[in-house]
Amino acid sequence: MSPPAPELAIDVRGLSKRFGDRTVVDGISIQVRRGEICGFLGPNGSGKTTTIRMLCGLLEPSAGQGHCLGFDLLTQSRQIKLRTGYMTQKFGLYEDLTIAENLNFISEVYDMSDGRQKVQQTLARLGLTERRNQLAGSLSGGWKQRLALAACLLHEPDLLLLDEPTAGVDPKARRDFWHQIHLLAAEGLTVLVSTHYMDEAERCHRLAYISYGKLLTAGTMEHVITTSGLKTWQVRGAQLDRVITLTANSPEWMAIPFGAEVHVSSTSGADFGAWMQAQINGHHWQIEAIPTSLEDVFIHLSQHAQDNY
């Protein structure tokens, strides 16, 4: 195996995980530069959480190799764990302890000599000082999210792995959370974050999309959209359900409702306006070519992915 690349926080190749006869993650390769925010996307059950757990040393890969933070993924998992913060999907702290008690406990787990000072600094950084004596179980989703992030940052990790961290929180809490993430990345912290929200994906420096255990695309948002080969049209007018019905019988078109309009995409190179005219001469819909969005690409990828169940 080649030595670790110093500019890469994550550099893994051919990563796979099997549970019995089922392959949950199948030959994934991911590279994330230090200080980057990488969005990790894909439908539920696609293998994102399993991949994250392999990256931080909680699960041993069935196949593959690579490095995280310069440490060998297979033989130096303990060193990786000590330098990584992992925020799980489900709130995992003690709900019958206060915010401060939870963080003090974590500082003791890491045997931090300056733990009390680090707790105070982390509370202040994430706006938790005034709530320090509030029971964790009484917090709203947004405040639990802040506490979970504080717990991940307390030992000053070099890599932050966030597994759908903003699921179920309100838009303001999501915006505040991403503001913190960008501040941390500006200070050199590397972040891999899984999300279903396209507005969050657009905030990332790079993206990786996984479906049914396979990596389908990776790169900047512009690269992902360009290499998808999709052309997209916006359709407006009355009885848009007829547009969806017409395209449903033709596999070259993908029609998705977007409020009071329908977006139709295709990789065939055909012109949708001309196709519609051939179906219904003198139709009444307004059809306009528009830039393909990230959401268009990911819906297309999801629809064409092969189930690994």
CATH code for the domain of 283: 3.30.70.860
Q: Are the C-beta atoms of residues 308 and 23 closer than 8 Å to each other?
A: yes
| Residue-range definition of the domain harbouring residue 240 | 231-291
pLDDT digits (tens, 9 = 90+) for 32-83: 999 999 999 998 889 999 999 999 999 999 999 999 999 999 999 999 999 9
Q: 194 with 162: CB under 8 angstroms?
A: yes
Cβ 210 vs Cβ 51: under 8 Å: yes
User: Is residue 176 domain-shared with residue 147, that is, in the same domain?
Assistant: yes
pLDDT at 196: 86
Structure tokens at 191: 């972040």
- Residue 306 reports pLDDT greater than 70: no
Residue 78 lies in a domain: yes
- Which of 225, 247, 263 is the last residue in one of the domains? 225
DSSP state of 305: P
Q: What pLDDT is recorded for position 305? A: 60
Rounded to 10 degrees, what is the CA torsion of 163, 82, 132, 116?
Answer: -170
Identify whether residues 209 and 263 lie together within a single domain.
Answer: no
Residue 191 shares a structural domain with residue 264: no
Measured between alpha carbons, how far is 122 from 165 in angstroms, rounded to an integer?
18
Q: Kindly state whether residues 128 and 276 are assigned to the same domain.
A: no
Q: At what angle do helices 272-279 and 240-248 cross, to 10 degrees?
A: 90
- The angle, 0 to 180 degrees and rounded to 10, between the axes of the packed helices 115-125 and 141-153 is 140
Region 149-158: what's the mean pLDDT? 94
pTM: 0.90
Q: What is the mean pLDDT of the chain?
A: 92
Residues 181 and 116 in one domain: yes
Top-confidence residue, 298 or 192:
192
| Proportion of the chain above pLDDT 70, given as a percent | 97
pLDDT at 282: 87
Give the chain's end-to-end CA distance (angstroms, integer): 31
131 & 147 share domain: yes
At 214-264, the pLDDT tens digits run 999 999 999 999 999 999 999 999 999 999 999 998 889 999 998 899 999
Report how many domains make up the chain.
2
Q: Which domain CATH number covers 106?
A: 3.40.50.300
112 and 135 in a single domain? The answer is yes
Q: What is the mean predicted confidence (pLDDT) over 178-200?
A: 93
Q: What is the pLDDT of residue 169?
A: 82
Residue 56 domain-assigned? yes
Residues 274 and 212 in one domain: no
Note whether 167 and 287 are same-domain residues: no
Domain boundary residue among 225, 241, 272? 225
Q: Residue 104 domain-assigned? A: yes
pLDDT beyond 70 at 158: yes
CB within 8 A of 123, min separation 6: which ones?
99, 100, 103, 129, 132, 150
Residues 85 and 110 in one domain: yes
Residues 260 and 157 in one domain: no
> Which pLDDT value is given to residue 307?
56
Residue 166 confidence class, pLDDT cut points 50, 70, 90: confident
170 part of a folded domain:
yes
How confident is the model at residue 191, as a pLDDT?
98
Shared domain check, 270 and 124 = no
**Residue positions counted in the chain:** 309
Instruction: State the pLDDT confidence band at 26, using cuts at 50, 70 and 90.
Output: very high
Domain final residue pick, 183, 198, 225: 225
Segment 77-90 mean pLDDT: 93
